Amino acid sequence: MLNIVVSIFEVESEAYQAITELKNNKGIKTSIMPEAVLVDKQNGSYKILDSYVLEDETVENTARGGLIGLCIGILGGPVGMLLGAGVGSLIGAAASTDNTVENTSLLEQIIGKLGDDTIAIIGLADEDDESEIDALLSRYDTIIARFDAAVVEQEVEKAREMEKEMENLAKLEVRKQKKEEHQANVEERRNKMKARVAAIKEKHKKKDDE
């Protein structure tokens, strides 16, 4: 099964050691983690400390395609900020599985696991036996969570669409603001021109009266 595996560490050096072992597939027989990142979350921002993508991975290309990188981009972007703020399931409720909570997306759950000051490995795993990767990670002080990769990928696609919509709305708002500012400037210029013409007319009127 294809899973997004999130492993949260207490000790940064152990996280570095673990991601190196995952890259080398050390002690793992039937499972593989073809891509993973080591992230440090601070004040809602995600800093990538280490990462890898295996060149000859065995999982289907359509099932991965840089999913972890896209996922990190969403988590650290505007949609991730909204989800982290508890706005609710903005990208639709995830399908009902053992890993989901009603009306809560998997991205929201991942964000919920990754609090500030968190060091974590986030990886895509093709697992025939979950206990193998668990055995590797559990040698360290870590908490492990799994999420259905197919559902996460679907949510990431929806979130990317949402980001585009938000960007378009922002552009429209900027254009509207510029148009209003332009109109205000035009109106100001028009009033000044009217005032100057009125002053000239008044001046000529006084001369005629003399």
Strands (E), 92-189: 118-126, 142-148
Residue 140 lies in a domain: yes
Contact 144, 137 (CB under 8 A): yes
Residue 48 lies in a domain: yes
What is the residue type of 12? E
Comparing 161 with 53, the larger pLDDT belongs to: 53
Residue 20 lies in a domain: yes
Domain encompassing residue 59? 2-165
Q: How many angstroms from the chain centroid is the CA of residue 44? A: 10
- pLDDT tens-digit readout, 17-27: 999 999 988 76
For the chain, the straight-line distance linking the first and the last C-alpha, in angstroms and rounded, comes to 99
Residue 6 lies in a domain: yes
Per-residue pLDDT, 141: 92
Residue 155 lies in a domain: yes
- pLDDT tens-digit readout, 69-121: 888 887 777 666 665 544 444 444 433 334 433 445 777 788 788 878 889 99
Residue 157 lies in a domain: yes
Q: How many domains does the chain have?
A: 1
CA separation, residue 169 to residues 78, 160, 176, 179 (Å): 13, 14, 10, 15
Q: What contacts 143, CB < 8 A, 6 or more positions away? A: 7, 8, 113
Instruction: Output the pTM of the full model.
Output: 0.64
